[in-house]
């Protein structure tokens, strides 16, 4: 099972998922200041190569890129790191994983796109988007 969640959502007491941060860094929107809300107990692994490239993030948040273009460019990026994405999808078949990033809603969030890409690679993979 592959799930997605906001990294600020506390771990459930009996949760057994491996929680993976797919953020490039754990900073505030200035890209420099540490986000003190994100503590090491909220995630098990940090895999920044699954985050969108910093230029893409800047184009979307600071330069007004549309969500559609952002999604297209992030999906193109995922194809360039296909081996990393495939390994993630395979791991999700072996044990439960939750992908984490800072967005509260998955509607305009790269963690949803990443989970959907994993499902494309392994169609019988169960995903839960939060």
- Going by their DSSP bridges, the two strands 127-128 and 2-6 should be labelled as parallel
Q: What is the mean pLDDT of residues 92-118?
A: 97
Model pLDDT for residues 22-48, shown as the tens digit of each residue: 999 999 988 899 999 999 999 999 999
Calculate the average pLDDT of the chain.
95
Q: Say what the pLDDT of residue 30 is.
A: 84
Question: Residue ranges of the domains in the chain?
Answer: 2-128
Q: Is the Cβ–Cβ distance between 85 and 118 less than 8 Å?
A: yes
Q: Say what the pLDDT of residue 44 is.
A: 96
Residue 19 CA to residue 45 CA, distance in Å, equals 7
Q: What is the mean pLDDT of residues 107-123?
A: 97
Between residues 15 and 113, the one the model is more confident about: 113
> pLDDT category, 112, cuts 50, 70, 90?
very high
Q: Say what the pLDDT of residue 13 is.
A: 77
Q: Is the Cβ–Cβ distance between 110 and 4 less than 8 Å?
A: no
Q: Is the pTM of this model over 0.85?
A: yes
């Amino acid at each position: 099972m592959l799930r997605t969640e906001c990294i600020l959502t506390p771990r459930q007491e009996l949760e057994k998922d491996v929680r993976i941060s797919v953020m490039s860094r754990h900073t505030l929107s200035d890209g420099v200041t540490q986000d003190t809300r994100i503590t090491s107990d909220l995630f098990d692994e940090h895999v920044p190569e699954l985050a969108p490239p910093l230029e893409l993030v800047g184009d979307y948040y600071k330069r007004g890129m549309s969500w559609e273009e952002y999604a297209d460019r992030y999906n193109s990026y995922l194809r360039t790191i296909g081996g990393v994405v495939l390994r993630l999808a395979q791991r999700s078949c072996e044990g439960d994983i939750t992908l984490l990033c800072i967005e509260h809603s998955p509607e305009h969030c790269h963690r949803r796109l990443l989970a959907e890409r994993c499902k494309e690679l392994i169609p019988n993979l169960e995903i839960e988007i939060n």
